[in-house]
Structure 1
Amino acid sequence: MIHQQDGRWLRTNIVREYFKEVCKRAKVPILSSHALRHSHAVHLLVFGANIKYASERLSHKSAHVTADTYLHITEKLEKESPDLYSNYINS
């Protein structure tokens, strides 16, 4: 959660509206905070972060939750893993 300087929590709708305004000014698509979270998770996994690290960073209860949620990414990584290992051994 985000809080103000005096320690009070910001309401979700205030953060959402502020973010919309920032996106409009920057002339970028307006995304939800959930979309940003999802993008961050995908980037972590695609660029090689350990699934346990990603799971902890996302505050999931377990790495299984992360793996199930991002199955499309983890399956892609599993297919690429033998090639990555082979490239490492042969370099």
Structure 2
Amino acid sequence: MLSAFSGKPLPKSTLFSALNRILKKAGINRIPIHGLRHTHAVPLLESGATMKFVQERLGHKNITITSDVTLISQRNLKVRQLIVMKNI
């Protein structure tokens, strides 16, 4: 949960709006906020973090969920990289 300077919870609509503005400015397609968790997990693993560490960081009760999510994220990342390389 994120909070405003006042300490009150930040409304979801504020987060969605901020993320969409950032993505648009960066020229990146829209992704759900939850997708950022998955995008965060892959670089952690690539930098040497253990699957157990990533599981705990993401708050998954079962390491299989973490494994499945990161595998899907890695595949999606590779597909996006291939698309970018094809368009160069």
| Same fold by TM-score greater than 0.5 | yes
1:64 Cα offset (Å):
3.4
1:49 aligns with 2:46: no
1:18 Cα offset (Å):
1.4
1:68 Cα offset (Å):
4.0
TM-score by length of 1: 0.64
**8 Å contact 2:38–2:69 — kept in the other structure?**
no
Residue equivalent to 1:25:
25
State the identity as a percent: 34
In our comparison, the structure showing a higher alpha carbon Rg is 1
Residue equivalent to 1:14:
14
User: For this pair of structures, how many residues does the alignment match?
Assistant: 73
Which consecutive residues of structure 1, in runs of 5 or more, have no partner in the other structure? 74-91
Q: 1:31 to 1:68 in 2, by over 3 A?
A: closer
- Secondary structure of residue in 2 paired with 1:37: helix
**8 Å contact 2:45–2:51 — kept in the other structure?**
yes
TM-score by length of 2: 0.66
Q: Indicate the RMSD between aligned Cα atoms, in angstroms.
A: 2.0
